[in-house]
Structures are given as structure tokens and as C-alpha cells.
Amino acid sequence: MKKIYILAVALVAFAFTGTSQLIDDDMDFYDNAIDISSQSPTFDNWSGASGTTEDAFTTDVIAIGTKSLLIGNNTTSDVLLLTGNLNGGQYTFSFDYYVTDGATGFYGLMETDDSSNPAFSVTFYPNQGGAGVDEIRVGGGVAGTYDMPKDTWVKMTHLIDLDADNITVLMDGVEIYNAAYGSTLFGAVDLWSVDGSCENYFDNFFLDEGILATESFDTKGFVTSMRNGQLTLQANEVIDNVAIYNMLGQEVYNSKLGATSSTINMSSFANGTYIVRASINGTVGSIKVIK
């Protein structure tokens, strides 16, 4: 039986413990005409060399914001999203995924970023072989199937516990896979144009340390509004604690509230984007605000 999870309204884009190598990339700031591995240290081509047929480019044809990363569509793209060769610990990795109807797809979670000796923990094949079957593979065998909508964006979330050797995969909040991860390492994600019919779009890559709340945060009714430097918080239940972080991961505010609503004076804060992280009756979630 499938389990349903609803993640935080917006997920925090960095580790609050200061851990580096974590990712928050909405793809909107890249040049469409330049290979992405030449523009970002987070990406590398499979061979490690830009200017080859492995190059991948952003596009504004199909995107959630202004751009997404295109893999396939008459290209032989093969790039690695580098996750920092993580060794042990717990992580939440997610992205928005769009597979064109009739096209195949592929992405794979790798133990390290060494493409000369690749070891995949789990791989995903939407419309494998053009047969209309969405497969999850471990090693050379099929470990499970799922039903991925095509011609629409879906949120893929991976809750990875390297210490407990487990990975839970959610598609739009619905569990589609829960099994052993098979390693204590998480080094990269391979985004590959698996065959000539591949046409995949990736957006909003996110990697954070820790398993983010899988209990519904939406049901808490947590909303924010910003006006004249005043941040108003409101929820259906008591907000136990709230912390605010800048985009460097630095905590700039922390307070125990014990109320369903509160106003925080941010007029002295620099203009920019902040992460508001709230704890409501044991459920922790985060949302971005812009001052």
C-alpha cells in the first residue's frame, strides 16, 4: 500500500549545521548557450571534459521558473550532479522532474563521483525501453515499478539514511520505493540521455542534511507575509519556535513563540531572501521569504 507524505511548504536550501556541499539550484541563472558543467562546480560531464557530446544545457522552453536543465531531446547529454561524496549521515535530496509523453528517462544515484569506476545505488527509468513501464533498478535487476505522469512536473524526493542503509523515494509526496540504499556513500547523481527518445527536464535541485519532516506541514496552516519590514507568522496550531536564516546559512533570529501568530520586526535586516524555519507541535518545516 502506498504511503502519502507531504513535505514542508518550502524546503531549506542549506544545512543549518554549516555543512558544505549542499545544494539549492533553481537553474534560472545559467546561460542556455553554454554547457552547464562550464558554469557551475556542482555539475560535471561524465568524462570530465566540457565541449563534448555529453554537454547539457538549460532551456526556457519547459521550466518551473525561467529555466530548467534539459537532458536528451536529440542530444547525448550525460552529466553528474555532484553531491560532495557524502559518507554517512542522513540527507534529503529532491528535484522537479518532467518527462515528455512517449519519451524515455533516466537518473541514477551514485556512491561516488568517480565515473571511471561507477557504482550506482539505485536508478530510475521512466518509460523504460519505450514500453510504458517506469522502473526502479538496483544493480542489473528491476527492484520496483511506479506510475509517473508524463507531460507534467512531479516532485521527486529521496530520504537517504546512509547510517541505517535505507532510502525512501517519494513522488509528489507518495512513497514509491523504500529499501536498502546499499552503501554508506552518496557521491553524485547521473543525469543521462539513455537513448535517442530521451527528453527530460530537471529543475529546483535541493540537497539538505537531515531527513526533513514527512508529517504534513501544510495541515498546520503555517503562512507568512512581509510588509514594511514586518514579518507576520500565523498557523492553525501553536508555533513553538521560529528561527530565521540568511542564504549563507547564518542564524539571524531565534525565538520561542508559544502562540498561533506573531510579528517579527525585520526592518533592520538587509534586503534579500531568508529561510523561516518553524516548529509546530513537533513538526518542523521551512519557507522562503523575501524582504
Query: Phi and psi for 40 in degrees, rounded to 5?
Result: -140, 135
Left if phi > 0, otherwise alpha if psi is -120 to 50, otherwise beta: which for 228? Answer: left
- Distance CA(83)–CA(113), nearest Å, equals 8
Per run of 10 residues, the mean pLDDT along the chain (length 291 residues) is: 34 36 87 97 96 97 96 96 93 93 97 96 96 94 96 92 90 88 97 96 90 59 84 90 82 91 94 84 76 86
The b/e string for 203-241 (b: 16+ C-beta within 10 A; e otherwise) is bbbbbbbbebbbeebeebebebeeeeeebebebeeebbe
| pLDDT score of 212 | 61
Task: Please name which of 238, 236, 289, 237 lies closest in space to residue 264, comparing C-alpha atoms.
Answer: 289
- Distance CA(158)–CA(171), nearest Å, equals 9
**pTM value?**
0.71
Say how many Å lie between the first and final Cα of the chain, rounded.
Answer: 43
Q: What residue spans define the domains of the chain?
A: 23-209, 219-290
How far are the Cα atoms of 61, 159, 176, 235 from residue 288, in angstroms, in the given order? 26, 21, 28, 16
Count Cβ atoms within 10 A of the Cβ of residue 270 and give its class: 0-12 exposed, 13-18 middle, 19 or more buried.
exposed
- Distance CA(287)–CA(28), nearest Å, equals 19
- Could you please state the CATH topology (level 3) that the domain comprising 219-290 is classified under: Immunoglobulin-like (2.60.40)
**CATH 2.60.120.560 correct for 23-209:** yes
- Distance CA(52)–CA(45), nearest Å, equals 9
Three-class secondary structure assignment of 179-247: ECCCCCEEEEEEEECCCCCEEEEEEEEEEEECCCCCCCCHHHCCEEEEECCEEEEEEEEEEEEEEEEEC
Helices (H) and strands (E) in the chain, counts: 0, 20
| pLDDT score of 219 | 66
| pLDDT score of 285 | 74
With contact defined as beta carbons under 8 Å apart, do 206 and 92 qualify?
A: yes
- Distance CA(39)–CA(32), nearest Å, equals 10
